[in-house]
Amino acid sequence: MSDAEEEHRVSDAGEETPRVSDSAAPKSNGRRPKLYSILASAALAAVILGAWTQTWFTTELVTGQSLEVTGDIAAPALTALALCVFVLLGALALAGPFFRVVLSVLEALIGLAVAYSAILAVASPATASVAAVTAATGVAGIESASELVESSAASAWPFVTIIAGILLIVVAIAILVTSRRWPGSSRKYQSVRLETPAAERTAVDDWDSLSSGDDPTDTTSTDPTSADPTSTDPGNGRS
């Protein structure tokens, strides 16, 4: 056999195929659902926050006035709910398996509250426009202000908000199902166990030693490095 053939065989035999450990596979499989779930929730929260600033209803009053009712008037709780989603996502990115389940349930409840707020506004535009009517006419009270509303035309934004709330519930369910496969946070976010050093000897310990008949100043019995001098002196064994 020639040297070239032998070298070629050794190089082939020396090659090692990289193997992926079994523990790394679930992490790689769970990283993508985690990323998609967080991005989808953030996008839906941004949509809800944007819808809150848009015109929801165009209201015509009996006096002939035309009012534009925005989302902050028709559903004022939306901004707080959207901000809660952003805060929840920050906690979700660092939470462990148990708290991921808790946070996913909270996200579903937030989505339900968003959809419910928008549905209430669509179901009763006159009631949702009371604050705008009061500001324009000075008439206070839900019933009195509602009587001044002749008609209301809804825009697409209330329905966009309803869909966003429902999708937020769907994403929360997806998080609940896939969260156990998510990779954990990096080590710098994990708790550090603090171990207290061994307590120094106090006067109470010395008194206890004296009570038991021991000499507290004698460290040979407690020092593991100390040894019997008779065992280390080679001359002690001679007659």
Label residue 74 by pLDDT band (50, 70, 90). Answer: very high
User: pLDDT value at position 111?
Assistant: 96
Q: Give the tens place of pLDDT for each residue, 97-115.
A: 899 999 999 999 999 999 9
Locate 191 and state its tokens.
């708790």
User: pLDDT value at position 237?
Assistant: 46
Q: What is the pTM of this model?
A: 0.65
User: How distant, in Å, are the alpha carbons of 35, 131, 152, 188 from that of 55?
Assistant: 32, 14, 12, 45
**In angstroms, rounded to a whole number, what is the distance separating the alpha carbons of residues 43 and 47?**
6
Using the predicted structure, report yes or no on whether residue 42 has a pLDDT greater than 50.
Answer: yes
Rounded mean pLDDT, 162-169:
96
User: pLDDT value at position 30?
Assistant: 65
Rounded mean pLDDT, 204-228:
61
Residue 136, domain extent:
44-180
pLDDT greater at residue 186 or residue 43: 43
Rounded mean pLDDT, 66-77:
91
Q: Is residue 35 part of a domain?
A: no
Q: Is residue 56 part of a domain?
A: yes
3-state secondary structure of 148: coil
User: What end-to-end distance do the CA atoms of the chain give, in Å?
Assistant: 72
User: pLDDT value at position 220?
Assistant: 58
Residue type, 134: T
3-state secondary structure of 152: strand
Using the predicted structure, report yes or no on whether residue 191 has a pLDDT greater than 90.
Answer: no
Q: pLDDT above 90 covers what percent of the chain? A: 38
**In angstroms, rounded to a whole number, what is the distance separating the alpha carbons of residues 25 and 28?**
5
User: pLDDT value at position 65?
Assistant: 85
Q: How many domains does the chain have?
A: 1
Q: Is residue 193 part of a domain?
A: no
Nearby residues of 164 by Cβ (< 8 Å), 6 or more positions away? 44, 47, 48, 51, 114
Nearby residues of 56 by Cβ (< 8 Å), 6 or more positions away? 69, 70, 71, 73, 74, 75, 121, 128, 154, 155, 157, 158
User: pLDDT value at position 64?
Assistant: 82
Q: Is residue 237 part of a domain?
A: no
User: pLDDT value at position 152?
Assistant: 86
Q: Is residue 117 part of a domain?
A: yes
Using the predicted structure, report yes or no on whether residue 143 has a pLDDT greater than 60.
Answer: yes
Q: Is residue 236 part of a domain?
A: no
Q: Is residue 226 part of a domain?
A: no
Using the predicted structure, report yes or no on whether residue 161 has a pLDDT greater than 60.
Answer: yes
Lookup result for tokens 């707080």: 80
The answer to whether residues 67 and 129 touch, using CB atoms and an 8 Å cutoff, is yes
Label residue 19 by pLDDT band (50, 70, 90). Answer: low
Using the predicted structure, report yes or no on whether residue 212 has a pLDDT greater than 90.
Answer: no
Q: Is residue 215 part of a domain?
A: no
3-state secondary structure of 124: coil
User: pLDDT value at position 186?
Assistant: 54
